[in-house]
């Protein structure tokens, strides 16, 4: 008798998704695609903090470190006071250190708006970090209270 290999197995108890398995017992870490449980983390500033062009915002320059391999699927930018005159641009980088990181996304919050959700597909390895640079702010009014939030799934 030939066993059928399932393309995808979703384990509702553990909240994990596996690929290329023929039985529940064969669903191990090597076949894990992702968790179905969404998590969030990010960089938060107070509502009164004026946006300014800055490299490596938040957490004393150490970035946001992911202890296990994670897949970021959305990046949300929010401000308490919108910019005027030009957009707020945040460049997202990934790597083991800020110096060796590379750009994985550029998020542009249009002038006059207070939030933006950007869909991405960024895989961060275990012990990898995410960094954010503010490369542009409003010219007439910079904006204030910038929050950069990442929604991700762990494997």
Greater confidence (38 vs 23) lies with 38
Predicted local distance difference test score (pLDDT) of residue 23? 67
Mean pLDDT of 77-103: 94
pTM score over 0.95: no
Mean pLDDT of 5-34: 64
According to CATH, where is 2.60.120 located in the chain?
Answer: 37-154
**CA dist., res. 56 & res. 101, Å (int):** 11
Predicted local distance difference test score (pLDDT) of residue 28? 64
**CA dist., res. 39 & res. 7, Å (int):** 25
Residue 63 — pLDDT band, cuts 50, 70, 90? confident
Domain 37-154, CATH: 2.60.120
Predicted local distance difference test score (pLDDT) of residue 45? 86
Where are the extended beta strands (E) located within the chain? Answer: 6-11, 16-21, 32-35, 38-44, 64-66, 70-78, 88-95, 102-109, 115-124, 128-136, 147-154
31: nearest Cα among 22, 40, 21, 39:
21
Predicted local distance difference test score (pLDDT) of residue 43? 87
The mean pLDDT value of the chain amounts to 84
Greater confidence (146 vs 32) lies with 146
């Amino acid at each position: 008798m030939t066993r059928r290999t399932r393309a995808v197995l979703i384990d509702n108890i553990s909240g994990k998704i596996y690929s290329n398995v023929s039985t529940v017992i064969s669903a191990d870490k090597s076949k894990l695609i992702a968790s179905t449980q969404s998590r969030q983390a990010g960089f938060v500033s107070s509502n009164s903090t004026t946006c300014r062009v800055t490299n490596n915002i938040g957490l004393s320059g150490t970035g946001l470190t992911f202890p296990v391999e994670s897949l970021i699927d959305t990046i949300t930018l929010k401000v308490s006071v919108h910019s005027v005159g030009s957009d707020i641009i945040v460049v997202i980088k990934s790597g083991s250190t800020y110096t060796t990181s590379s750009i994985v996304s550029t998020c542009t919050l249009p002038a006059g708006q207070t939030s933006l959700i950007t869909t991405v597909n960024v895989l961060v390895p275990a012990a990898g970090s995410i960094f954010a640079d503010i490369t542009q702010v409003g010219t007439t009014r910079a904006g204030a209270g910038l929050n950069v939030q990442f929604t991700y799934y762990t494997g």
